[in-house]
Amino acid sequence: MIVANTAARAGLNQSVKTGVAFYAPLKSPSHPNPSGDRKIARLFIRALEQAGYHVDLASQLRSFDKAGDSLRQQRLIALAKKEARRIMRRWQQKGFTPQAWFTYHLYYKAPDLIGPIICHSLNIPYIVAEASWAEKRASGGWALYHQEVAKGLALASKVICINPVDKLALTAFYAQQPQHDSPLVSLNTFIDDLPNTDKISPSSVISTRTELAEKYDLDSRLPWLITIAMMRSGDKHSSYQQLSSVVDLLQQPYQLLIIGDGVMQAEVQGLFAPYKQVKFAGAVENNQIRQLLPHFELLLWPAINEALGMIFLEAQQAGVAVVAGDQGGVSSIVRNNVTGILVDAYNATDMALAIDNLLLDPAKLKLMQQAAIEYVEQHHSIDASALQIKYVIQDALLDPTSKV
């Protein structure tokens, strides 16, 4: 479980730090199941702490409604009101008052039902990162939650956008609001430093290609490709289906290691059963993944309906070039024809051709791998993002036109 207070662990004097309440309504950073959403929530906490803030994980209430059930939404809205009161009582008992509220990821299936209540009560700025707006949800099963998203966006002093696709819809939303200045702020998706091997169990550290080949039954004489994704129904399974079509078309020799598990694991493994060059590793801890990535040449993923995909940054940071589907915000974290190749996510022929061409041109592939390392270091470091987030919060705290 993540503890959202590095300062407390280090025994530092928190009285000099500005307190920020942090909340992720879709998935708490303390949630036991790994995912990209949990990973980004944790990264925002680290960035906030690196920026000098004392971060309090305000709540772990999950507002997620997958089915569009208005009765469930009503119950969660009522529960959130009680949760807001409970949080403020806890803070009062601790003698803690946050100077700002920071919500990561709200959308029509998981709005922030707590933050706006507390910000009104305490008269503090409401700051949001990675919000999305879908006007078509104004009617239908998520209409009630859609209204809650609108309330949160209207209240927000700052809205940090890390996905350029989301920013388009948010820009249209704020153009219709009776205010002069848009709260939108662009921020590059960011990543922390590579993990320190001293913090990883020695038995799990793989230091050589030979050890990796033995562990996962890979042929060390061939190029190694890798795919890392949960095996869930819906878009993830669709991407795996597309990837199996790509594999069927590849002409060059290779080995592909697939890392991930989930409820669709048997089905995914069945898709690749005819291909002996495809191996499965099951679930692997993120720290271990980032240790083994430098041994691979290419990361493959169709990314069907993928919002961002943090694994693309982690791979590039480790010097792995990318061949992926050009969906969602993927193009904002992979430089096409520089650090990888982006293709139509639904065109298996184009993806297979891109992979084969890179395997046929090791010199070009090597240039992409080096460019990937430099690109992440220059444009997606946590250091630069922490500084920008600090300025965003300072601006919200100093803004005399606060909406709260």
Domains contained in the chain, number: 2
119, 101 in Cβ contact below 8 A?
A: yes
Same domain, 265 and 342: yes
Burial readout 41-78 (b: 16 or more C-beta within 10 A, e: otherwise): bbbbbbbbbbbebbbbbbbebebebeebeeebbeebee
Give me the domain span that covers residue 103: 6-190+381-398
The answer to whether position 349 is within a domain reads yes
Q: Which residues pair with 341 in a beta bridge?
A: 323
pLDDT in the model for residue 17: 80
The answer to whether position 264 is within a domain reads yes
The answer to whether position 347 is within a domain reads yes
32, 23 in Cβ contact below 8 A?
A: no
Q: How far is CA 112 from CA 62, 64, 105, 328, 395, in A?
A: 9, 10, 9, 23, 22
Crossing angle of the two packed helices 143-155 and 70-94, in degrees rounded to 10 = 40
Q: Which residues pair with 381 in a beta bridge?
A: 191
**pLDDT exceeds 70 at position 207:** no
Segment 51-85, tens digit of pLDDT:
999 999 999 999 999 999 999 999 999 999 999 99
Same domain, 224 and 116: no
Same domain, 63 and 167: yes
Segment 289-334, tens digit of pLDDT:
999 999 999 999 999 999 888 999 999 999 999 999 999 889 999 9
Same domain, 330 and 387: no
And the tokens for 255?
């080995």
Looking at per-residue pLDDT, the higher value among 59 and 17 belongs to: 59
SS3 category, 186: strand
The answer to whether position 1 is within a domain reads no
The answer to whether position 403 is within a domain reads no
Residue 51 DSSP label: T
The answer to whether position 99 is within a domain reads yes
CATH code, domain carrying 146: 3.40.50.2000
| Separation of alpha carbons 238 and 309, rounded Å | 15
- The beta strand positions in 201-284, using DSSP E, are 224-228, 255-259, 278-282
The answer to whether position 278 is within a domain reads yes
241, 268 in Cβ contact below 8 A?
A: no
Same domain, 173 and 287: no
Same domain, 109 and 238: no
Segment 349-378, tens digit of pLDDT:
999 999 999 999 999 999 999 999 999 999
The predicted model gives 159-187 an average pLDDT of 91
Same domain, 223 and 158: no
- Terminal CA-to-CA distance of the chain, rounded, Å? 33
Segment 76-132, tens digit of pLDDT:
999 999 999 999 999 999 999 999 999 999 999 999 999 999 999 999 999 999 999
Same domain, 54 and 159: yes
The answer to whether position 404 is within a domain reads no
Same domain, 261 and 172: no
**pLDDT exceeds 90 at position 8:** no
Same domain, 171 and 318: no
Residue partners of 309: CB distance under 8 A and separation at least 6: 36, 301, 303, 324, 328, 330, 333
Same domain, 10 and 137: yes
Segment 133-150, tens digit of pLDDT:
999 999 999 999 999 999
pLDDT above 90 covers a percentage of the chain that reads 85
Same domain, 50 and 160: yes
